[in-house]
Each structure stands twice: as C-alpha cells, then as structure tokens.
Amino acid sequence: MASLPCRHFLLLHLIILSAAALDSPQEQDTPVTRFQQYLRIKTAHPEPDYSSAVSFLVSQAQSIGLQYRTIEFSPGKPLLLLSWLGSNPSLPSLLFNSHLDSVPAEPSKWLHPPFSAVRTPDGKIFARGTQDDKCIGMQYIEAIRNLKHKNFTPSRTIHVSYVPDEEIGGLDGAAKFVHSMDFDDLNVGFALDEGQASPGDEFRVFYADRSPWRLKIKATGPPGHGSRMYDNSAMENLMKSFEVIGRFRESQFDVVKASKASNSEVISVNPVYVKAGITSDTGFAMNVQPSQAEAGFDLRLPPTANPEEMKRRITEEWVPAIRNMSYEIIEKGPIRDHMGRPLMTSTNASNPWWLVFEQAITFAGEKLAKPEILASTTDARYIRHRGIPVLGFSPMSNTPILLHDHNEHLQDTVYLKGIKVYETLISSLSSFMEA
C-alpha cells in the first residue's frame, strides 16, 4: 500500500517536467522561434531549398487565414504569393516583397553554424539571411497575424511576395513576375522591398538602387618567351586597361572621400577576377608570355548616371579595339524606364505614398534618416520599371550592417520591434484612400 503514493508522486513529477519542457523558450511557438525555423531552411546558392521554404511559409499563411498560391516562371524556382483581401478591392493594392534565396556562407568563418539560427544568451540570432532578408519575410506575416488578432480589416488588398533568385540577379524571379499577367492582375499601387540595417538610431529608407553591370575585358597579343619585350602583349594591354579604370575609380572615390556624394551616388568599379597564363602539371609556365588575358569588373551605376556615356567611355578609353581588346557587358536589370527616366521613387509631397509612409514611421515612435540610393541592388528596380513607387526598407536600427558577411546576425529585440513597425505601416498604408 505504501508504494502507490510513490508511483503517483513519480507520475506527477514527470508531468511537471514535461510541462516545463513545453513551456521553455526553445519549444514555444513564438515570433522568434518561427523566425529561427525559417532561417534553418538552407536557401543558399548554388542549391537553394526553395521547396521547403515555400512549404513553411504556406503553413504560416494557412495558420492566419491568408490566401496563397505558387507560380513558376522557371522550372524549380517557385514564387509564393500571399493575399489578404481588402474591404475595397477596387483600390490599387499594396505589395510587400522579399526574396527566398540567400548567398552562400563559409561555416569555418562563423562563430555558430550559419544555418543553425542559434540565439545566444544576449539575444543575437546567428544565421545566413537574418538581415538579408528573411527578417522582413517573416515580419510581414507576423504583423498581419497581429493585425488579424486585433480584428483589423484593410481597405486595400495586401499582397506578400516571396521571389526566387534575387541574389543572382532575379532574372528568373522578379524580372519575369513584374511583366506577367499575374502581376498585372494584382493592380499594385505601392510596394515595399528590402533595405539595409542602420548602425544608428534612425531607420534607413531607399528610393532607388544602383544598377549592376558585369564587365568582362579580353586582351590578345603575340605569345613568346618570357625574356622578350613586346609591344601590345596581352598582359601589357590588360594592365593598361587596369591603369585607366583605376584612375576613373579614384576620381569617383575622391568625390566620396571629400563628402561631396555618398558611395551610392557615384559609379563604382571594382576588379573581381583576372585570368591569364599558361599552366601545366607543375603550375604556371613562368617563361611563357600568354596570348590571351581576361579580367572581370563589377560596375554599379546610380540611376542618375548616363548608361550611353558609360558605354562610350568603356569603348574608347577602357577597352580600345586598337589595343587588340574586346569586352562584354552583362546588364543585370534596368537603369531607366521606357521613357528614358531614372528609376527613382519620389520622397516628397509629390508622392502621397511617401507622406503616409513617413507619418506611419513617426506614429510608431521611430525616426527616418535622409532617404538614400541603395549602394547595392534589389528586386525593387524591376517594380519601379513598371512605374510603381517602391521604397526599400528593413526596420533594423542600432544594428551593424552584416549582409553577405561572416556571422550575419540580428538582435531578437530588433526583430520584434520591426514587427510592430510593420503593423503600423500595413494599417496606415492599407487605410489610405486618396491614391
């Protein structure tokens, strides 16, 4: 008879332990743990797991009653579209965009495995994509979840898009999406896309992107013995191009260093590879001058730049045919619209959407820095090309800029504050009736 209470005591003890485990931060279903789940899906190139990411996001959409559908403009590259119908669907809709993919990571250079989404005791969440840009992808959903719990009903329909391949140019993702009937049917009036973190107290906001060009330069010349001096050898011709391009780079950088323009307002050009030399099983042949040499450069043009003038400079100054040289430019997206106008979104009273956005940030108790041109590139340029106003915005203040860097991370409190900011933005923008 004495053993029965003991068994009851053990059973009760196990129940208490089980309840405590379920109630622990690691097991709870919270905005932060849901963010961690999304981060653990390895969507890094060259083999992003789009299928698992879409499945997870669909489950989140279902949990809050959002409509969803997937579209494939290229095989194996799904685009997910979530929709929250407004009470007045005839009004132009809102689009909140983010991308599914991320850049690769070097695990040996990280404090924690880059796809483990470890949250340290001080609240830092380490994972590839925390800043670029799985944070906003989940913040959109969490903000809508909270608004639904408050019984908020938007006047305008809200669409949330998750696109593939942004990190490799977006040609099989956003570029095809914005020129499709599927996009036309959305009747988008205003859009938000990704921005960047701000080390200071103010949120950064971007009204334009720089346009990326990939420049490949090839030089040819007579091959020969390494001891001979030639005019116009392949390597000599390539080095002359490096000198000319280097002077242009310095002229642009001098403007930045003199504080006459920001980095994003000038044309940047940086060498990214050089390929030359004759190889064998023992390595490079040091006594042979190669007949071919090649180099690659990353160019970024602000929307204020003249692309035709840039091409003239490349043809006449950087890679003149008289030096047995040729080049190829791969343009990664548009820099002007069909009327030849720069792809920029107004950030003044001429754009009513800007005024609503600015007021919503103030209402949320936050501050905006001076609007900028983004130094890098996002899918926003494709949407702007359709004549739709777009702002780049990621609510991360007091945060180091770590996109594409080792140990990319985001503070949990910063992530949670961003959800509240999007609540205000979504409610304000979707209630705006005049545009």
Catalytic residues: 101, 166
Q: Using CA of residue 103, residue 107, residue 111, residue 113, what is the dihedral sign?
A: positive
Are the beta carbons of 282 and 226 closer than 8 angstroms?
no
- With 0-12 CB in 10 A as exposed, 13-18 as middle and 19+ as buried, what is 258? exposed
Reported as type and span, the H/E element at residue 359 is: helix 352-363
Are the beta carbons of 120 and 215 closer than 8 angstroms?
no
- Return d(Cα 47, Cα 27) in angstroms, integer: 29
Reported as type and span, the H/E element at residue 53 is: helix 50-63
Measure CA of the first residue to CA of the last residue in the chain; give whole Å.
79
Q: Give the distance from CA 239 to its chain's centroid.
A: 34
Q: Return the structure tokens found at 309.
A: 């003038």
- With 0-12 CB in 10 A as exposed, 13-18 as middle and 19+ as buried, what is 11? exposed
Are the beta carbons of 249 and 256 closer than 8 angstroms?
no
- Return d(Cα 382, Cα 148) in angstroms, integer: 31
- With 0-12 CB in 10 A as exposed, 13-18 as middle and 19+ as buried, what is 80? buried
